[in-house]
Structure 1
Amino acid sequence: MRRAGMIPYLAVVAFALASVFGLVSRPATGAPSEHVEHVIVAGTAGLRWDDVDPVDTPNLWRLAQQGSIGALSVRSAHSPTCPPDGWLTLGAGNYAERTDPALQITDECPQTTVSIQQQGRSATLPDQETDVADWNRQLGNHVQPGALADALSCTVAVGQGAAIAAARPYGRVDRYEPTLPSRPGPLLSECPLSIVDLGTLDATDPDARAEQARQVDAHLATVLAGRPKSSLVLVAGLSDTDRSSRLHVAIADGPGYRGGWLTSSSTSRQGYLQLTDLAPTTLNALDRPAPTELFSGQPVDSAPGRPTDVVNAVSHLSDADREADAQRHVAGWFFAILTLFELVLFAGAVPLLRRARRARRLAGRRLRPAPVALVQAAEVLLVAASLAVPGALIADAVPWWRSGAPGLIFAISTLGVVAGLTVLVMLATRGRGTLAPLGAVGGISAGIVGIDVLTGARLQLNGVAGYSAVEGGRYAGLGTIGLGLIIAGILLAAGWLAQRLARKWRPVAVAALGAVGVILVGSPYLGAEAAGAIALTAGVCVAAAICTGGFLTFARLAWATLTGLVVTTGFALLAVHRPAGDRGSLGRFVSAARNGTGGSLVQSTSATNGTSVVTSPLTLVVLGSVILIVFVLLRPTGGLKRLFGIYPAMRAALIGIAVASALAGFLDGVGFNVAGAAAATAVPLATLAALRVLDHADDRTIVVLPLGEQVPAGVRPTLAGVGEPVGVASGVAEPGSAAAGDAPGGSDGGVRPSTHANGDQPGTDTAVNTGQQEPDTPVSAPTAPVGDVLP
């Protein structure tokens, strides 16, 4: 290969290296360095921020005013997290379950019933070492009930729930009291850690719930009255009480926790923490080493930026809980309606695709062309469908969840945004060629997600097109739907841009935009999605390798593989050196492979993938897209082969989207959710482009020769439609085939047409030019139908 020819490939590798070097690992959130002699964890099942006010719960309100506060996600290994699951997760420092896995929770959680055998001042939980240990051993994530108590010399438990959290792995509770003494000072000073069950808030009636909150506040007042010196108090609403999972109260008051937002590196979001973070926080405050191989959380820090007025701070957390609760209900029907709409649209596009190619040939006989208005309406609907998910993401900027009819307000907001974006795209791309809508929608989708990630992913947090803090899978960065959007957007925009450049610089354009996308997706400070960045790298490598046309040759495959290996290795090294609770799926897999537990993790990921495939409506979008592409668009009358032949860079982009989105879903264990979001954006646009290409398939192209010049001997130009290359060969090449616009190995053999009706540069950059005609003496070759040969 010539040196000049290697420049684009070297540029691709340079962009790949730059993307890795841009992914500097985020440092772990620093927990306070001040230590205490005693930690008191006061837990209450069901306590939410809308239960806290200065009238009914003055002690909770005062503690929130002087301490640090946050929204607590109570995710455990059981769904929902019932009170026994929350208490056991607190004591294990990992996602555990104590509710019988075979028990189906249809409405409310069952009453907590635990067999406790008291022996003097200590007690024993007989089933801790048998049934409970067996259930959690099967989870495969190193869950050890009682890991927190096992890390300390002595623990105190007050109440039934506290006994579950304070029991050691073999079931022994060091100090146990069924109820809180009226003077608890001596009891709370006996051991470094005291866990107190303040009660449960499970009433649905507002008055009854307020009364339960007052009782919890009164018990907290007794605890605070007996609080030892040099102590940290952690108040946590550590479980749900029914199927409606919510965000709960978290307050930390003590050295290092004064007037801030609670956060940890396991969430990377100010004001949010997980239940599994409380165990490492306790040991950090007591200056005890934590069993990092057993704990999945990270010590909690107090971050600045909280409003000085506690009313505003508590209102902010209550509002986040309401949004997360509404998101769960609205997201389900939104994606169901989107799936139905796209499937109906795909079905309706089939007859239009058939008429678009055959109408001109059979007009006046059997098949009439589709009305222009109908075709234009179909194009508008296809663009609108591709903008539905980006529109839903923008609609989350509207506080729709605060209204009495959140679903209706969200629907109106989303429809308004989608309509505005659709009008903008149609007006901006009018008369600008076949690929203009693809480039515009791709740029809009990638831009929306990119700006959101750069500004803290506020639209995705608890958003319909984002992720829920209640589910606890992600609290910051890029979510599953956002990942699918940015994959589709980046590669569509890259394909559009590459098609407008000279052949040798197309890989550079794809790699440049791809590197930007990889940094946005994979940087721990931005998307924090290492597995998604690896998947996007694979898609970009494939797209860069074939964007010049032709097949995936050995040389192209070698460059793509080398680049992918460099980026993957860089991500793996960065991920494995991050904190244990912040490694993501890639870091957990590398760590598991190092310690010999990779098999169980692969099995768990496969099971999660299977569940997502069966339960997600986006799976139907993927299936519908595959059926449309394979049985309609890739057929001779479907237009996609013709599109690929004319625009090889767009072929590369669509193949890259398929590779990247499918791989991302597998690595993250979310089934077809990433591919579904990408398909919902890309497939309607591919259908629109196929319609436009077929609309010009039977147009005539005039081959113009300079005055007095004859067609060279042995060369017979074949004719193609307007906007397609005119092949030069000894035989006739079907437009849209490899010979017509995408020759194997990247070499084209076509005559460049004198005009291009679509306004886009075709894929034949090395075509033979028959010359330019003189303006005053036009001489045109005779026209002929597509596929005919000039004499």
Structure 2
Amino acid sequence: MVGLIGLAGIAGLAIRPSPDNNTGSADYVILAGSAGLRWDDLDPQRTPTLWAEASRGSIGWLSVRSAMRVTCPSDGWLTLGAGNYAAWPRPSTGSRCEPASPALTQPDDIGANLTEQRSVVQNNQDRLPYGAVPGALAESVRCTYAFGPAAAMAAARPFGRVDKYQPSLPADATGLLSQCNLSIVDLGAVSGSGAQRQQQVQAADAMLARVVAARPSRSLLMVAGVSDTERSGRLHVAIAEGEGWNGGWLTSAGTGRDGYLQLIDLAPTVLTALGKPAPERLFAGRAATVVEGRPAGVTDSMLGVHNADQRSVAQNAVAGIFFEVLAGLQILLFLLAVPVMVRARRHAGPRGPALPSARLVSVLELALIAAALAIPAALLADATPWWRYGHPAWVFGSVTGLFIVIGTVLVRLAPRYGRTLWPLGAAAAVASVVVGFDLLTGAQLQLNGVAGYSAVSGGRYAGVGGVGLGVFVAGLLVLAGSLAQWIAKPWRPVIVVLLGGIGVVMVGSPYLGADPVGAIAVTAGVCVAAAITTGGWLTFSRFAWAALAGLAVTIGFAVVDLSRPAADQGIVGRLLTELGNGTAGPAMQRAAAANGQALLDSPLTVLAVAGVLMLAFCQFSPWGGLNRLFGLHPALRAAGAGVTVAVLIAGVLNGSALTVAGAAAATAVPTAVLTALRVLLHAADRTRPEGETDGPGGPLTRVTSSPNVRQPS
């Protein structure tokens, strides 16, 4: 069993797609930036130059994450020049970002000095956990030419010198853009709405027209909306046009998603196009590449039903509401279930509280099933264009509610509904199938989805997110535990290993879940579950074999990952490389900060705590029933232990704290409470030894008596 788990884990983690470096080289790179520029600002009539460049070149959505929660213009331009998450010190906390207006001196007629650059570099090195060095891009090229004060922030070297500088791009820039191999042009900021915004976009388009007219041959022109201009995150314009950048989607190894690019990817893209090496350990981004498959028209690619920015805005607004409502409803449901479980416990004497009515039990069971299906239903709801309507929260809630009702009715009307483990296993199967199918089809439901992750936040762009991982792990292992009750004891670990191995591959494969840390966590959970699925306790020998399998997967993948070039390594390889050269401190600091923020900010933390408290009541109170359930069905106890181990490891190592555990609890705890309630109601039924089971429910294979008829004790 250990060998099977190890082989599955290494196979899923080690195989990676070869990097796609099909872009062309250039003698010059011109980077034209505009703070706040979004795809819905472009129009073939009002912005003909931007539209033409987008039509000819390669395009994508630009995530402008920096070291700040909201990337204002100063942060964006500084991050561009650092190739890493950087921040410009700012005192303002208002609703709008301040324009980029650094202090500059011009001691000669050639270049300029950014007077605050040294202190800014020191601040990013000492106070921020990313290790960014503003000016790393300029230090990697022969010469930079900046047009505009904001552009100077990206073109300045770490000590503040801008090689060549002009306050603005001249009306006739002929010959200027070939004086340095990297020219950075500020097209002006775009903010507000209505006519004012349109005027700013038209001014940026007119300046870009002068850039296009003056660009030298064999040059790469990059256009980027380098930051937000308001205190809210958005997705922005990314265009690359030149030899090798003709059509197609922009992407990078950092995002792993066609059509998505990060702001930190622009600096390594510049150096790759110029044929220069990236500075060692300074850049956090990856060079952009081009993939085919993009529709020919800009409208069909980026606007209308394909407007990822509009969807991400709606997702950010609705996600918080959804999980807060889900947490509140599940807590209320648990509180209502407690008195029913107290009354459901059968007493030995002739007197005792009346048993709950059959109708009350039926309604509570349906409510618990509906609660368990809430997140899978939300994932399915993300397949609909709910975000395009005037009241997206209401539309999303209605669609999600419809899917919940459909799923609950299907579980209830199934012929096997009366069997003790059927609701638990059926809900788990739905959860694992929904997430698994989404991964097989490119994780389209999770990208910018309410139950997924947002490209604006910049944490993940492809594969399985924290919520999806929790739902998938809980569903898969609980399903394995339920199915294991069908077969004899010696073969139960086989079921857990087979389903668990599939889960490891799907989570860890870069073609599917793209989460190697999550795959290692799932491996640990599967090993624990397989070790105790036949019953008994987690003895030292069982724990040793489980730990050995998890360690084998981790070491095997680490060896394979470390053999790759540094630019192609995954998160495990990069972490071990950083530990080896002594630079892992910032990464560990970032993980700790991310865990702290997720622990305090996420409603899923509340769901995780509520789920633990409810399970503790079910197991340790006289009215719980969970101990009896685990005694009758040891494979379920094994599944619960495996889920706990997997979600805790994944949450801590991925910097998401209890997010993964909260999603798992929301999926598994309601139906676990339902199953414990059924055990309580039929605790006095005549049972047979475990070896004589006739179905998946073990000794309690069928609910045969009315909860209102007290059985003899």
TM-score, scaled to structure 1: 0.86
The residue aligned with 1:311 is 299
Distance change >3 Å, CA 82–CA 562, structure 1 → 2 = same
In percent, how many aligned pairs have the same letter? 51
Which of 695, 698, 701 pairs up with 1:761?
A: 698
The residue aligned with 1:371 is 357
Contact 2:121–2:158 (8 Å) recurs in 1: no
Q: Between 608-617 and 641-650, report the one with greater CA deviation.
A: 608-617
Letter in 2 for 1:653: A
TM-score, scaled to structure 2: 0.95
Which of 81, 99, 124 pairs up with 2:113?
A: 124
Which of 72, 79, 84 pairs up with 1:94?
A: 84
Secondary structure class of the residue paired with 1:558: helix
Distance change >3 Å, CA 362–CA 244, structure 1 → 2 = farther
The residue aligned with 1:272 is 260
Give matches, 1:16-35, under 5 Å: 16-35=6-25
Letter in 2 for 1:564: G
Contact 1:261–1:303 (8 Å) recurs in 2: yes
Distance change >3 Å, CA 488–CA 106, structure 1 → 2 = farther
Give matches, 1:543-692, under 5 Å: 543-576=529-562, 585-692=571-678
Letter in 2 for 1:19: G
Letter in 1 for 2:66: S
Distance change >3 Å, CA 280–CA 71, structure 1 → 2 = same
Measured in 2, the distance between the counterparts of 1:426 and 1:579 equals: 53
Give matches, 1:454-473, under 5 Å: 454-473=440-459
Distance change >3 Å, CA 28–CA 275, structure 1 → 2 = farther
Distance change >3 Å, CA 132–CA 88, structure 1 → 2 = same
The residue aligned with 1:716 is none
Runs of 5+ unmatched residues, structure 2 = 702-710
Deviation at 1:557, TM superposition (A): 1.9
Measured in 2, the distance between the counterparts of 1:281 and 1:174 equals: 21
Deviation at 1:582, TM superposition (A): 6.7
Give matches, 1:245-256, under 5 Å: 245-256=233-244
Residue 174 of structure 2 corresponds to residue 174 of structure 1:
no
Distance change >3 Å, CA 559–CA 92, structure 1 → 2 = same
Residue 168 of structure 2 corresponds to residue 231 of structure 1:
no
Contact 1:439–1:496 (8 Å) recurs in 2: yes
Aligned pair count reads 703
The residue aligned with 1:62 is 52
Measured in 2, the distance between the counterparts of 1:603 and 1:239 equals: 25
Which of 152, 161, 173 pairs up with 2:141?
A: 152
Write out the 4+ residue segments of structure 1 that deviate beyond 6 Å after TM superposition.
none
Measured in 2, the distance between the counterparts of 1:289 and 1:317 equals: 39
Distance change >3 Å, CA 24–CA 585, structure 1 → 2 = closer
Which of 174, 198, 201 pairs up with 2:190?
A: 201
Deviation at 1:298, TM superposition (A): 1.2
Measured in 2, the distance between the counterparts of 1:608 and 1:450 equals: 26
Contact 1:19–1:516 (8 Å) recurs in 2: no
Distance change >3 Å, CA 580–CA 425, structure 1 → 2 = farther
Distance change >3 Å, CA 662–CA 190, structure 1 → 2 = same
Which of 249, 258, 263 pairs up with 1:261?
A: 249
Measured in 1, the distance between the counterparts of 2:381 and 2:69 equals: 29
Measured in 2, the distance between the counterparts of 1:158 and 1:621 equals: 51
Distance change >3 Å, CA 314–CA 620, structure 1 → 2 = closer
Deviation at 1:292, TM superposition (A): 4.0
Higher relative contact order (CA 8 A, sep 6+): 2
Measured in 1, the distance between the counterparts of 2:563 and 2:333 equals: 47
Measured in 1, the distance between the counterparts of 2:654 and 2:569 equals: 12
Letter in 2 for 1:179: S
Residue 325 of structure 2 corresponds to residue 337 of structure 1:
yes
The residue aligned with 1:301 is 289
Distance change >3 Å, CA 583–CA 610, structure 1 → 2 = farther
Which of 470, 479, 496 pairs up with 1:493?
A: 479
Give matches, 1:502-513, under 5 Å: 502-513=488-499
The residue aligned with 2:67 is 77
Deviation at 1:230, TM superposition (A): 0.8
Runs of 5+ unmatched residues, structure 1 = 1-10, 702-721, 726-740, 742-751, 765-783, 787-791
Deviation at 1:651, TM superposition (A): 0.6
Measured in 2, the distance between the counterparts of 1:442 and 1:74 equals: 37
Secondary structure class of the residue paired with 1:23: helix
Letter in 2 for 1:378: L
Letter in 1 for 2:6: A
Secondary structure class of the residue paired with 1:473: coil
Secondary structure class of the residue paired with 1:129: helix
Letter in 2 for 1:187: L
Residue 176 of structure 2 corresponds to residue 190 of structure 1:
no
Contact 2:598–2:656 (8 Å) recurs in 1: yes
Contact 1:432–1:759 (8 Å) recurs in 2: no
Contact 1:96–1:136 (8 Å) recurs in 2: no
Measured in 1, the distance between the counterparts of 2:405 and 2:429 equals: 17
RMSD: 2.0
Secondary structure class of the residue paired with 1:200: coil
